[in-house]
Amino acid sequence: MNLQESPELQSFREEVRAFLADNLPPDIKQKMEMGQSLKKDDYQRWMKILAGRGWLAAGWPEEHGGPGWTPAQRYIYDEEYGRHSCPRVLPFGVTMVGPVIIAFGNEEQKAEYLPKIANSDVWWCQGYSEPGAGSDLASLKTKAVKENGHYIVNGQKTWTTMAQYADWIFCLVRTSDEGKPQEGISFLLIDMKTPGITVKPIVTMDGGQEVNEVFLDDVKVPVENCIGDENKGWTIAKYLLGHERTGIAEVGKSRRQLQRVKDIAAAETIDGMPLIEDTAFRGKIAEVEIELLALDATILRMVSAEGAGKPPGPEASLLKIKGVELQQAITELLLEAIGNYGSPYIREAMDHGWNEPPIGPEYAAPVAPHYFNWRKSSIYGGSNEVQRSIIAKMVLGL
């Protein structure tokens, strides 16, 4: 056992660090640091920059346009990425549909879709959940019926993140009612411009608009857009669940957010002294930091095992659970730190270019909305309850 990075990894780290520092556009960096909302263009600009360096599809093999990094390099990349105030790489293309196409797509599909994902030419969204199918995803009802070389798709998806920006949606649809519900599901790629698709926004409790309902009404989808075999979509969905899991804890981001807690606690005062010197508050920071160390060490163990050819299986659910619990704990610390100024709510204050003087300290405005918004993280992507069930059943065999 050895925590020392090899000289090669050290220089890799330097390279990543320098690239991110030199190439993150200052206006985007400022928005990130102020917790302001990002626009479609911000994500696109940044993802294009990463794509230009060949790092957008960070987990992909070289033959498909990825950097072909080892697990250790990937770990270092994620860590450095989190350290800088970079917007997150939207997962729908590069970590969701891309790997599915790599694993299950045919040659034409690979040639058609992968370069555009690695290049960030196309904006994807994920159409899994439905009003009646959340945790119980296999109960989904959106129907695809084959007719003259097309599927005719009817139904409704919901909670679709950033569907309002998306060019394409990947959907789980029902192609058969025979057998178990899992056995009649297929994985379809659908162009959002196809007639019959309507996107309706859902406003979240923080006032933001990031999720949508997507209605599909007689939407014609060429049969070539089915990935893998018809009725084998569930296998694909399960593959995705187990793919590229070490990044989901977002430890790097939590580390950066914890630093933000420290910075704000240094600026806030309590009875004339900096809040960061208050024993109770300091103790809470230490507690979260120790949890973060435990999580990071666990990731490092999994990454090391992966390097030796043993990629993590369902035990990676631990990373999702603990990762989001820590992210949520940090949003709470931020809210605690700003005291009375958690209350004011001016939605526009979270937008870049809002020119009025802030109410209270300038870092305060997004804090409470962010805390509210981040409750989502233990609900989506397999809720914490679902993840615990995975550990119970698939790891512990209960």
Partner 1 sequence: MNLAPTEEQKLLIESVERFVEKDYPFEQRRELAASELGYSADHWATFAELGWLAIPFPEDQGGLGGSITDSCLIAEQLGRGLVVEPYLWTVILGGHLLSRSGRGDLVEQIATGVLQTAFGFAEPTSRYNLASVETSAADSGGWRLNGHKAVVFNAPAADTIIVTARTAGDPRDEEGISLFLVDPKDPGVTLRDYPTVDGLRAAEVILEDATGELLGDAGAAYPLVEETIDRGIAVVCAEAAGIMHTTLQMTREYTAQRKQFGVPLSKFQVLQHRMADMFNLTEQSISLSWVAAVKAESEDSLERARACSAAKVFIGKAGRQVGQESIQMHGGMGMTEEMPISHYFKRLTLIDTLFGNRDHHQRRYSDLLDDKRFAA
Ligand X SMILES: Cc1cc2nc3c(=O)[nH]c(=O)nc-3n(C[C@H](O)[C@H](O)[C@H](O)COP(=O)(O)OP(=O)(O)OC[C@H]3O[C@@H](n4cnc5c(N)ncnc54)[C@H](O)[C@@H]3O)c2cc1C
Give the interface with partner 1 as residue ranges (CB under 8 A). 129, 132, 134-136, 139, 158-159, 202-205, 207, 211, 268-272, 275, 278, 280-281, 332, 335-336, 339-346, 359-360, 368-369, 371-373, 375-376, 378-380, 383-385, 388
Map residues 375-394 to x or -, x wherever contact with ligand X holds by CB under 6 A.
Answer: -x--xx--x-xx--------
Phi-psi region of 228 (alpha: psi -120 to 50; beta: other; left: phi over 0): left
Residue 77 contact partner, candidates partner 1, ligand X, none, CB within 5 to 8 A by sort of partner:
none
Q: Which lies closer to partner 1 via its Cβ, residue 82 or residue 342?
A: 342
Residue 335 contact partner, candidates ligand X, partner 1, none, CB within 5 to 8 A by sort of partner:
partner 1
**Sign of dihedral through CA atoms 35, 36, 41, 42?**
negative
Q: Which lies closer to ligand X via its Cβ, residue 20 or residue 330?
A: 330
Residue 160 contact partner, candidates ligand X, partner 1, none, CB within 5 to 8 A by sort of partner:
ligand X
Smallest distance, ligand X to C-beta of residue 123, A: 12
Q: Which lies closer to partner 1 via its Cβ, residue 86 or residue 329?
A: 329
- 3-state class of 349 per DSSP? helix
User: What is the C-alpha to C-alpha distance for residues 313 and 317, in angstroms, rounded to an integer?
Assistant: 9
The DSSP code sequence of 41-89 is HHHHHHHHHHHHHT-TTTTS-GGGTS----HHHHHHHHHHHHHTTPPPP
Q: Which lies closer to partner 1 via its Cβ, residue 70 or residue 343?
A: 343
Q: Which lies closer to partner 1 via its Cβ, residue 153 or residue 275?
A: 275
Instruction: Considering only residues 321 through 380, tell me which ones interact with ligand X, judged by CB under 6 A.
Output: 376, 379-380
Contact yes or no for 121/179 (Cβ under 8 A): no
Asked whether position 298 contacts ligand X by CB under 6 A, the answer is no
Residues 6+ apart with CB under 8 A from 64: 57, 98, 102, 110, 114, 118
Smallest distance, partner 1 to C-beta of residue 204, A: 5
Smallest distance, ligand X to C-beta of residue 341, A: 26
Asked whether position 211 contacts ligand X by CB under 6 A, the answer is yes
User: What is the C-alpha to C-alpha distance for residues 225 and 223, in angstroms, rounded to an integer?
Assistant: 5
The continuous run of DSSP H or E covering 285 comes out as helix 279-307
Q: Which lies closer to partner 1 via its Cβ, residue 191 or residue 325?
A: 325
Residues 6+ apart with CB under 8 A from 246: 71, 74, 75, 78, 299, 302, 303, 306, 312, 316, 319
- 3-state class of 121 per DSSP? coil
Residue 202 contact partner, candidates partner 1, ligand X, none, CB within 5 to 8 A by sort of partner:
partner 1
Radius of gyration from C-alpha coordinates of the chain: 22
How far lies 209's CA from each of 5, 23, 247, in Å?
42, 28, 25
Asked whether position 209 contacts ligand X by CB under 6 A, the answer is no
Positions touching ligand X (CB under 6 A) are: 126-129, 134-135, 159-161, 211, 376, 379-380, 383, 385-386
